[in-house]
A and B are shown apart, each in its own frame.
Chain A
Amino acid sequence: MMAGATRTRLVSRETSRANAVAGVAVVLAAILFAMSLAALFEVIPISDPIAGIPVVAILGGVLMLLGGAVIAFGLGSYLGAVETQPSPSAGVVAAAAFGIVWLVLVGIAVGRFLSLGSAGWIVALFVGGAAFAVTAVPREDIGSTLPAGAACLLVGATFLTGAIGPEWVWELDFEQTASLTAEFVIPVATLGAALLAGWAAAKAYGGFGARGRRMGAYLLIYLNAGSIVGVLFLLLAFTTFRGLPGLFTGVEVGPGVGPSVFGIALPVSLPFVMNGVALLNDFQGVLPAIVGTIWLVIGAVLFAVPLGVGAAIFLTEYAEYGRITQIVEVATNGLWSTPSIVFGLFGFAFLIPRFGGGKSLISGMLTLGFMLLPLVLITSREAMLAVPDEYRDASAALGVSKWQTIRSVVVPSALPGVVTGVILGVGRIAGETAPILLTMTGGTFVPGGQTVDVIGGFEFTAAPPFVANPELLQATTALPFQLYALITAGVGLGDNVASPEQFQWATAFVLLLVVLSFYAIGIGARYYFRRKLNHE
């Protein structure tokens, strides 16, 4: 950004033509990158020809072209045909990276095709060292283009000569057999070569030197950020796409077709989320799991939010910063990073014997509450620390007590942060399977009649503990567990639901929907509060 602002337009025509070469090389690398991804996930099968030319040959040809362009630009710059500002050396980091790439490339090639044994690794080490030297010793324009371009040429030549064809297989000499097949090696090798050459080409496009390095690094960093968003989008889109048919199985819209809620029949019937599993159902559903998840979240919030917010108030307002706050901080962060399955084990050992000896809803609630507690504490504490001290001083100057200041100044100002933190924390625990696996969950298919009804379940007894709620003390199910059970149920699934795969994907989709709506609300709330703060 800073350097871009100072860039001038005084670029000679030759340089712009040479820049076009580098630009084309970047584009070629991008195309190769996309093609190799498509080949890896079998969108483009490598054994099929495109327009009469085998895909492997196309990849090999483009790789050769790309390698040639990169080397040509490097040599052109070195011989002074192109005006660039190269540094004296490409640097140790690049040299080490190229050294390792070449070591692996040659090591594999020699080991696979020449079978020289340990002598092969000596050759590989020698070539790797040479690549290191070629990168580090000459001027940057040679050092950063030559090894990358040559790698492209080598990989391209292997594909073009048919040394690695679509039928190529390398059986690894493992006791548990595994092989590297062409379907994997060709796309991955192309991907790696395209990345190397793309980086070198971007550097060349920037004219090497400080600007060139910036260009090369930014290409990789933008690519990485784009891939992360891409993977996220792909995951969400894929789950939605596969889950929607199952979700809308047997959907009906019309007056009075749905189940009645508070005496009013709903105008929509969506069996998947409104039914349990029963023999006579036309369509099976996951209602008990949804209700179970809702109660779990309510229970965990009721347990963790008062504790977490209370502790945050004590730590920020009452306690002096010192040994005690440090211990609590370490403990909180320790709790935050404790693996979820350990919470499950703890719930199993601690809560189950104390709540009737079997798996129960309340054990699940408390276990998830333990997990939610550090999240609530950390975010609430951050929100309270962010409240300016002037607020507290102004309130204290009015002569009110400390607690009144906390109640009427600190907590209200910190509330947006606390609420956002709680919502995001809830999103996290709502999708947890491991802790409730050991403490709460029972069968794979739960009939609609067993949907938990906590409010209606309370009853008073004559013996201690005087209040009982069988609903809280029963094993039940929740969405994440339901999905786990569906995965492990395997073959038996077909007896219960018409289309097991649709049912699984629909469950995954509903779970994702529930969890991500918490996230959407949390992130939305944060934006809302921040904008409100900025406008005031």
Chain B
Amino acid sequence: MTNTQVNATRDDVMRRLRGVRDFLTDAEPAALVTVGAMSIALISAFIAFLLASPLAIVPFALFVVTAGYGWLRHQGLTARTLTFATTVSTVLILLLITTFIVVESIPILQYESATVLGVSVPGLRMFTQARWDAVSPPIRYSMVPMIHGTVMVTAIATAVAAPLGVSAALFLSEIAPATVREVVKPGVEILAGIPSIVYGFIGFTILSPWAADQFRTTGQGSYLFVGIVVGLMALPTVVSVAEDALSSVPESMKSGSLAMGTTDWQTMISITIPAAFSGVSAAVLLGVGRAIGETMAATVMLRGVPKLTEPLYNAFYGQETLTSLVANNYGEADGLQMDALFAAGVILFVTVLFISIGSQYIEWRMRRKLGGEG
């Protein structure tokens, strides 16, 4: 950091501290005491809950009482504190999810460690061989078959959802007459609303037998059709985010192009899509994230055998994805196997979190470039 940056940071901190001090001197002492008691009660209730103590109810009751009293006597400050607490708890939930699933997966990381150049790397063996067997020795919990499945399904789903979704978004934001839009837009929303288990059920009872018959495979379940169904489910996400991006392109840019005598299609191709390109790619990324995390359709339609397909690009057979592994095995799993399911969860969570952050970064850059507020 340069000197000026340090100074700027220090000024910022000082300003904030002054703000807090002003706030404390301005507020009534009685109100501060109430809010303080409320906060302490809430924090101790949370800690007690973390420790799985049945006594957590006591500080929680205390919190409810103080909050009620504060609401009646010092509503402004109480409301501010309460809304702050809710904000903190949102971040806290994400932290808790991260901590808990990572902690649960530590034993399997230790079990599946492998040595590289004399250094033992925990968890490495999960990725260097492809054997998943929880029953007969050598007991191995490899993630490779499931990662392969997830990659296959996601790739096919993206191939379906990305072009169709972007084209539908273009239709909704630029082309469709108002009346048509009023029909198609809720339609896309309802498509998102159909529960994944219903998609899975229809896929399982109609699509899978049909596909097995068409491609003469042994048994049912193929990555190809799971991918298509999952693509249909990721479609609404792509459509709605891409549509937001396309309609955030300033109208003046489009009108300027149209005034040059271009057709509206030329305007879309040479002005709207390039301007909204990063937003549209963020939409596709979010669609990919949805497809990776889709569980029930994959669970019901796949075979549930953690193995690679032979050959690897054989999409007519569908074995297992990271999500379906958890849903299929949680029932009988215990000990290391359960921890292995948590490891699958960690892989899913981290991947999707990175995708989410990446797409937010892309969107943020686009908003800054267009100079509007989106």
Q: Do these two chains interact?
A: yes
Residues of A with C-beta under 8 A to B104: 345, 349
Q: Kindly state whether residue B186 has any CB partner on chain A within 8 Å.
A: yes
Q: Is the CB of B295 within 8 A of A434?
A: yes
Residues B265 and A431 in contact, CB atoms below 8 Å apart: no
Please choose the segment from A70-78, A127-135, A504-512 that sits at the chain B interface, where 4 or more of its residues have CB less than 8 A away.
Answer: A504-512
Task: Establish whether residues A433 and B296, one from each chain, have CB atoms under 8 Å apart when the complex forms.
Answer: yes
A310–B171 CB distance below 8 A: no
Pick from B216, B218, B262, B309 the residue with the most CB of A within 10 Å: B216
Please report whether the interface of chain B is mostly helix, strand, loop or mixed according to DSSP: helix
B93 within 8 A of A: yes
| Partner among B89, B263, B296 whose Cβ is within 8 Å of the Cβ of A214 | B263
Assembly CA distance A428 to B295 (angstroms): 14
Query: Which residues of chain A come closer than 8 Å to B21, judged between CB atoms?
Result: none
CB under 8 Å from chain B, chain A span 216-253: 217-218, 220-222, 224-225, 227-229, 231-232, 235-236, 238-239
- Asked if A232 meets B316 with Cβ closer than 8 Å, knowing A346-B97, A432-B195, A433-B296, the reply is no
- Kindly supply a per-residue 1/0 record for chain B positions 300-324, scoring 1 wherever the CB is within 8 Å of any chain A CB and 0 otherwise: 1000000001110010110000010
CB–CB A480/B197 < 8 A: yes
Given the contacts A346-B97, A431-B196, A512-B194, A179 and B215 also touching, CB distance less than 8 Å: yes
B145 beta carbon closer than 8 Å to chain A: no
B97 touches A512 (CB 8 A): no
Per the bound structure, the CA–CA distance linking A177 and B199 in Å amounts to: 27
Q: Is there contact, CB below 8 Å, between A328 and B87?
A: yes
Within 8 Å CB of A341, what residues of B? 293, 295, 323, 326-327, 345, 348
Asked if B52 and A353 sit within 8 Å, CB to CB, the answer is yes
Say yes or no for A406: interface residue by CB 8 A criterion.
Answer: yes
Within 8 Å of chain B (Cβ to Cβ): is A66?
no
Segment 153-171 of A: residues with Cβ below 8 Å from B: 169
Is the pair A345, B345 in contact by a Cβ cutoff of 8 Å?
A: yes
Closest Cβ of chain A to B301, distance in Å, is 10
Contact of A331 among B84, B94, B197, B217 (CB under 8 A): B94
Evaluate contact between A210 and B100: CB separation under 8 angstroms: no
Kindly state whether residue B247 has any CB partner on chain A within 8 Å. no
Q: Which residues of chain B come closer than 8 Å to A306, judged between CB atoms?
A: 86
Do A431 and B193 have beta carbons less than 8 Å apart? Answer: yes
Do B296 and A434 touch (CB < 8 A)? yes
Instruction: Say whether A484 faces chain B, with CB atoms less than 8 Å apart.
Output: yes
Whether, in the assembled complex, A17 has its beta carbon less than 8 Å from a beta carbon of chain B, the answer is no
Residues in A neighbouring B232, C-beta threshold 8 A:
231
A150 to chain B, nearest CB (A): 24
Q: Tell me whether A283 is interfacial, beta carbon within 8 Å.
A: no
CB-contact partner of B216 in A181, A222, A430, A433, under 8 A: A181
Shortest Cβ distance from A42 into chain B, in angstroms?
8
User: Could you say which residues of chain A place their CB within 8 Å of the CB of B264?
Assistant: 1-3, 214
Distance between Cα atoms of A345 and B96 in the complex (Å): 12
Least Cβ–Cβ distance between A22 and chain B, in angstroms: 18
Expressed in whole angstroms, the Cα–Cα distance for A318 and B296 within the complex equals 40
B193 touches A228 (CB 8 A): no
* Contacting pair A345 B101 (CB below 8 A): yes
Q: Which parts of B188-223 form the interface with A (CB within 8 Å)?
A: 188-198, 200-202, 204-205, 214-218
| Contact A345–B197 (Cβ < 8 Å) | no
Chain B nearest CB from A351 CB (Å) reads 10
Whether a CB of chain B sits under 8 angstroms from the CB of A112 is: no
Complex alpha-carbon distance, A338 and B286, angstroms: 11
The answer on a CB contact under 8 Å between A437 and B327 is yes
Q: B353 contacts the other chain (Cβ, under 8 Å)?
A: yes
Interface size on A, residues (CB 8 A): 110
CB contact under 8 A between A177 and B263, given known A331-B91, A341-B295, A346-B101: no
CB-based contact A318/B293 at 8 Å: no
User: How many contacts A-B (CB < 8 Å)?
Assistant: 306
A179/B216 in contact, CB under 8 A = yes
Q: A232-B191, A431-B197 are in contact. Are A224 and B57 (CB under 8 A)?
A: no
Point out the residues of chain B lying under 8 angstroms from A340, CB to CB: 293, 295
Interface residues of B in 160-186 (CB under 8 A from A): 164, 167-168, 170-172, 175-177, 180, 183-184, 186
> B141 at the A/B interface (Cβ < 8 Å)?
no
B57 in complex: contacting residue of A222, A333, A432, A464, CB < 8 Å: A464
Compute how far the CA of A177 lies from the CA of B104 in the bound complex, rounded to whole angstroms.
39
Interchain CB contact under 8 A, A334 and B94: yes
Q: For residue A465, which residues in chain B have a CB less than 8 angstroms away from its CB?
A: 54-57
Say whether B235 faces chain A, with CB atoms less than 8 Å apart.
Answer: yes
Instruction: Determine the chain B residues whose CB is within 8 A of the CB of A428 once the complex forms.
Output: 192-193
Given the known inter-chain contacts A218-B175, A331-B90, A345-B342, please indicate yes or no for A483 contacting B349, CB distance below 8 A.
no
Segment at the B interface, from A269-277, A443-451, A515-523: A515-523
Query: Assuming the A-B contacts A334-B356, A512-B198, are A487 and B300 also in contact, with contact meaning beta carbons closer than 8 angstroms in the complex?
Result: yes
Measured between beta carbons, the chain A residues less than 8 angstroms from B348 are 339, 341-342
Q: Bound complex: CA of A159 vs CA of B326, how far in Å?
A: 46
Judge whether A113 is part of the interface by a CB distance below 8 angstroms.
no
Chain B proximity of A283: nearest CB distance (Å): 21
Bound CA–CA A317/B87 (angstroms): 12
Contact string against B for A residues 289-329, beta-carbon threshold 8 Å, 1 for contact and 0 otherwise:
00000000000000000111011011101110000000111
User: Which residues of B are found within 8 Å of A178, using beta-carbon distances?
Assistant: 215-217, 314, 316-317
Query: Does A532 sit at the interface, judged by CB under 8 A?
Result: no
Residue in contact with A181 in the complex, picked from B167, B172, B195, B214, CB distance below 8 Å: B214
Of the A-B pairs whose beta carbons lie under 8 Å apart in the complex, a sample of 25, sorted by A's number, is A2-B258, A2-B264, A3-B264, A176-B317, A210-B263, A214-B264, A221-B175, A224-B164, A235-B194, A239-B198, A311-B83, A315-B87, A332-B90, A335-B97, A339-B293, A370-B93, A370-B97, A373-B90, A403-B76, A424-B189, A434-B295, A465-B54, A467-B57, A483-B201, A504-B201
Instruction: In the A-B complex, list the 9 residue pairs whose CB atoms are closest, starting with the nearest.
Output: A339-B293, A431-B195, A310-B86, A175-B310, A314-B83, A214-B265, A465-B57, A178-B316, A403-B76
4 further contact pairs, Cβ within 8 A, besides A1-B264, A428-B193 = A221-B167, A407-B79, A428-B192, A466-B57
Interface residues of A (CB under 8 A from B): 1-3, 169, 172, 174-181, 183-184, 210-211, 213-214, 217-218, 220-222, 224-225, 227-229, 231-232, 235-236, 238-239, 306-308, 310-311, 313-315, 317-319, 327-346, 348-350, 353-354, 370, 373-374, 377, 401-404, 406-407, 424, 427-428, 430-434, 437-438, 463-467, 480, 483-484, 487-488, 504, 508, 511-512, 515-516, 518-519, 523
